[in-house]
């Protein structure tokens, strides 16, 4: 395996590892600050190694590493209440960035659902809006898949994830409202000595 490919695979794996624990825990474990600097350094090193061979810069392993890096940084920024980073800030290819933010929508869904399971719905609507913003960006990209690296498929995935998340969050909010009304009703019945 060439050294460039090793660097890219390592960067992609480290970006996956950066996001994985985020999906398992809510609260302070999501509050990691800053960019994934080590992954960026690996991607830069790989980029420098392939600068002399322009055809290698569009290889799947290089773009996948950038995509994973963009995904990890987007998720970290959004769950920490920050603005979504730009491709220039992350120093990644535009196609890799767009696919990365699309993949981030799936991670945001996991974060929202984990929060709902724990009864933490305070950020659900805010993150749903971020997912909606991501979809609005992706749906405007009307270029061939050869240029965007399969962005249509990613956009379709985001649409499905967005609608399922919207549905789940709506049901949760309605159920929470019903539970509160039932608690009030039960306390009134208890006050009157009926139950």
- 7: Cβ contacts below 8 Å, ≥ 6 apart: 42, 43, 45, 46, 49, 65
Alpha-carbon distance 173 to 157, whole Å? 24
pLDDT for the residue 50: 60
Quickly tell me which residue has 């220039």 as its tokens: 88
pLDDT for the residue 33: 42
| Structural domains present in the chain | 3-191 (1.20.58.2140)
pLDDT for the residue 35: 46
pLDDT for the residue 104: 97
Residues of the chain with pLDDT under 70: 1-59
145-175 pLDDT, tens digit per residue, is 888 889 999 999 999 999 999 999 999 999 9
CA distances from 166 to 1, 78, 113, 126, 161 (A): 43, 17, 11, 11, 8
């Amino acid at each position: 395996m060439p050294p460039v490919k090793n660097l890219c695979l390592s960067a992609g794996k480290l970006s996956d590892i950066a996001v994985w624990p985020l999906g398992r825990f809510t609260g302070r474990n999501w509050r990691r600050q800053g960019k994934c600097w080590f992954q960026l350094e690996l991607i830069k090193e790989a980029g420098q190694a392939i600068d002399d061979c322009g055809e290698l810069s569009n290889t799947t392993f290089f773009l996948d590493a950038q995509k994973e890096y963009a995904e990890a940084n987007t998720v970290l920024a959004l769950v920490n209440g920050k603005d979504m980073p730009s491709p220039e800030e992350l120093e990644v290819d535009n196609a890799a960035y767009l696919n990365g933010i699309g993949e981030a929508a799936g991670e945001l869904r996991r974060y929202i659902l984990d929060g709902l399971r724990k009864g933490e719905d305070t950020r659900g609507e805010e993150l749903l809006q971020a997912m909606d913003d991501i979809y609005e960006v992706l749906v405007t990209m009307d270029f061939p898949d050869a240029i965007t690296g399969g962005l249509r498929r990613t956009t379709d995935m985001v649409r499905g994830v967005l609608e399922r998340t919207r549905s789940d969050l709506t049901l949760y909010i309605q159920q929470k409202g019903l539970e509160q009304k039932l608690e009030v009703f039960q306390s009134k019945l208890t006050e009157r000595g009926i139950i």
